[in-house]
Homo-oligomer: A and B are copies of this chain.
């Protein structure tokens, strides 16, 4: 018998696959939504559609079919990407569009899924970013997309959002995650300030188990110093 059911949006990314792994070890039934299948997940839904509403329709109908009326414990959206560009850069708008598609599309579809399938007292986690709380002049499109995700969390935490009773809606705001890609591209950086993926996955497991929850609507910053990570809201 499973401990519960969780939906991971982006379960093939570095953080997403760690989350899938941690929840499988904790005996959860895991549904992965991504561009590729996860071997670890119990069920996979491959994202298709070229537009925001097409992706919404395809993903939402496939999830409804897979769950066939069963409620879920958590929706954990870890999909995202990164691209730079100041507002003066020729790449600004091209990259802003990429960031919108890779961050805001999955986050908003996850919000819809949570409103439809989350049980009372469930958990919804969306992917924010610490730098986007202020200006991000060298990555302007990235900042806009993450700021939109942060504001969506404020909306979701309000009683009028349609989210089920006593559910938690939060964004996690990493600074730098300790991923293989970041190790590759920032090989000379001080990794003692990078947040381990396992820490983030265990945090979501606690929240899903209704342990150590922050207030709904929180932007939960992940701060790692000398290899030790703490959360602040």
Cross-chain contact A112 with B135 (CB below 8 angstroms): no
Is the CB of A156 closer than 8 A to any CB of chain B? yes
User: Looking across the interface, which residue of chain B has its beta carbon closest to that of A155?
Assistant: B135
Cross-chain contact B53 with A87 (CB below 8 angstroms): no
Cross-chain contact B135 with A156 (CB below 8 angstroms): yes
Cross-chain contact A52 with B96 (CB below 8 angstroms): yes
B-side contacts of A159, CB under 8 Å: 137
Chain A 126-161 interface residues, beta-carbon cutoff 8 Å to B: 132, 134-138, 140-141, 143-161
B-side contacts of A114, CB under 8 Å: 87
Given contacts A94-B53, A135-B151, A217-B135, contact A88 B143 (CB under 8 A): no
Candidates B86, B112, B115, B147; contact of A151 at CB < 8 Å: B147
Q: How far is the CA of A26 from the CA of B23 in the complex (A)?
A: 65
Given contacts A147-B148, A152-B144, contact A162 B108 (CB under 8 A): no
User: How many residues of A sit at the interface, in one of the four size bands?
Assistant: 35 or more
B-side contacts of A153, CB under 8 Å: 135
Chain A 48-70 interface residues, beta-carbon cutoff 8 Å to B: 51-53, 56
User: Looking across the interface, which residue of chain B has its beta carbon closest to that of A217?
Assistant: B135
Candidates B140, B155, B157; contact of A155 at CB < 8 Å: B140
User: Looking across the interface, which residue of chain B has its beta carbon closest to that of A147?
Assistant: B151
One digit per residue, 1 when the CB lies within 8 angstroms of any chain B CB and 0 when it does not, for chain A 158-195 equals 11111100000000000000000000000000000000
26 examples of A-B residue contacts, CB within 8 angstroms: A53-B93, A86-B115, A86-B155, A86-B161, A87-B108, A87-B111, A87-B112, A87-B152, A87-B155, A87-B156, A88-B116, A89-B162, A108-B141, A111-B140, A135-B153, A135-B155, A135-B156, A135-B158, A135-B161, A136-B154, A138-B160, A140-B156, A144-B155, A145-B148, A146-B151, A147-B147
Q: A86-B160, A96-B104 are in contact. List 17 more A-B contacts (CB 8 A).
A: A52-B97, A53-B94, A87-B108, A87-B114, A87-B156, A92-B112, A100-B104, A104-B144, A108-B141, A111-B140, A132-B151, A135-B151, A135-B158, A136-B151, A136-B155, A137-B155, A137-B158
